[in-house]
Chains A and B, each alone.
Chain A
């Protein structure tokens, strides 16, 4: 595929890449940094993408790997530093109603509290709408592992959000 075509498709995909990044890194400002790293890696490795296969799942895989790298590096930094403050979600001026904003913020905080593996499963299936098979492939785990992580994530979110979204 010509570079221009590849770039055009990345631009099309950009809103979804940003959405996934926000679900994975609810600290707000970090999300676009993660998108940028994924874009750089995707462009570098575009020769490895098989035309005809799904570019979204391919880019999500790259983003997942970048996120895991970054999460490990952050954990190393945090072990040396003071315990972090709870992540503050950035108030979003685009959300019109206060009630909706509170709900969205509660959901984002609840997702931020999930263990990373459950958060990834929730982000790929519930946020990005991938099928179980696609999500398992992005996560590089068997389907049963994906459904188990997704199930535990869903139970934890339900418990956390009881009264907010129920």
Chain B
């Protein structure tokens, strides 16, 4: 135990507020501070600083994890959409996924994500997604589900499953969706003046050992997560927010 009469230097005050002093030493300083307002004030300042420094970054603990980082942890390496688009024009070859290969089954779904744009392009597009002059626009069941269906209240066997709804950085509302059909497709559409524009769509299937497809349940493909990560402003809408946005016709609030 240190000499209680010695002046208390800043390092000891720091150690006190950092919980690094043996209990007897801490008690001695606290006792000295009770009789020494200047010392008490220095301790108080150090405590305030510690709390302010910790508090300045506390938001990180409350925010939802970005899908991009979750995808990294789960081994689904983020797919570069520009790269995926560039591949569309090349002849089909098996995509290589070096880093992700060791993640086994995940790699298969990732590989298919690369394929998605290409698979959509040459084949007649599903009626749910219509190729318009300026890109893909939702049609049919997809368009009506995007407008009317609430994620918080949807039938298990509905042909379209709505995922997450959110405000995008440019202010419009966007929703992720999955089409339950023979070729399962998941994507992200945003409500723009001329309708629901599909900003990204990807095959949401994993490759079965026999080379065929099996549906990968409700997994959202990496390109869709990536697009959402880039677009989202703040947190996803909760059930009440989703209902309000629907009531407003998914028009961007002023």
User: B49 on the interface (CB 8 Å rule)?
Assistant: yes
Is there contact, CB below 8 Å, between B69 and A158?
Answer: no
**Residues of chain A with a CB closer than 8 A to B70's CB:** 11, 14
Task: For A157, give its contact among B10, B11, B53 (CB under 8 Å).
Answer: B53
A32 to B72 CA separation, bound complex (whole angstroms): 11
Stretch in contact with the other chain, from A49-57, A60-68, A69-77, A121-129: A121-129
A150 to B55 CA separation, bound complex (whole angstroms): 18
A32 to B67 CA separation, bound complex (whole angstroms): 11
Smallest Cβ distance from B235 to chain A, in angstroms? 8
**Residues of chain B with a CB closer than 8 A to A151's CB:** 10-11, 14
Is there contact, CB below 8 Å, between A126 and B11?
Answer: no
Smallest Cβ distance from A34 to chain B, in angstroms? 11
Is there contact, CB below 8 Å, between B48 and A125?
Answer: no
Contact with A along B81-120 (1 / 0, CB 8 A): 0000000000000000000000000000000000000000
**Residues of chain B with a CB closer than 8 A to A93's CB:** 234
**Residues of chain A with a CB closer than 8 A to B62's CB:** 15, 94
Smallest Cβ distance from A8 to chain B, in angstroms? 9
Contact status of A39 and B56, CB under 8 A, knowing A154-B14, A166-B48: no
Is there contact, CB below 8 Å, between B53 and A122?
Answer: yes
Is there contact, CB below 8 Å, between B61 and A16?
Answer: yes
Is there contact, CB below 8 Å, between B63 and A15?
Answer: yes
**Residues of chain A with a CB closer than 8 A to B58's CB:** 19
Residues of A within 8 Å of B, CB-based: how many?
44
Smallest Cβ distance from A134 to chain B, in angstroms? 11
A39 to B52 CA separation, bound complex (whole angstroms): 28
Task: For A104, give its contact among B18, B45, B56, B74 (CB under 8 Å).
Answer: B56
Contact with B along A1-18 (1 / 0, CB 8 A): 000000100110011101
A108 to B54 CA separation, bound complex (whole angstroms): 10
- Nearest CB to that of B99 among chain A residues? A40
Within 8 A of B (CB), among A80-119: 92-95, 103-105, 107-108, 111
Is there contact, CB below 8 Å, between A127 and B53?
Answer: yes
**Residues of chain B with a CB closer than 8 A to A15's CB:** 60-63, 65
Contact status of A35 and B54, CB under 8 A, knowing A43-B75, A132-B20, A157-B49: no
A39 to B45 CA separation, bound complex (whole angstroms): 36
A131 to B88 CA separation, bound complex (whole angstroms): 53
- Nearest CB to that of B77 among chain A residues? A40
Contact status of A32 and B57, CB under 8 A, knowing A103-B52, A154-B10: no
Is there contact, CB below 8 Å, between A36 and B72?
Answer: yes
Is there contact, CB below 8 Å, between B46 and A14?
Answer: no
A92 to B57 CA separation, bound complex (whole angstroms): 11
Smallest Cβ distance from B169 to chain A, in angstroms? 12
Task: For A131, give its contact among B14, B20, B59, B66 (CB under 8 Å).
Answer: B20
11 contacts between A and B (CB under 8 A): A11-B65, A11-B70, A14-B69, A104-B52, A105-B56, A125-B18, A126-B18, A126-B50, A132-B20, A158-B45, A165-B52
For the complex of A and B, the 6 pairs showing the least CB-CB separation, nearest first, are A19-B60, A107-B56, A165-B52, A18-B60, A126-B53, A104-B56
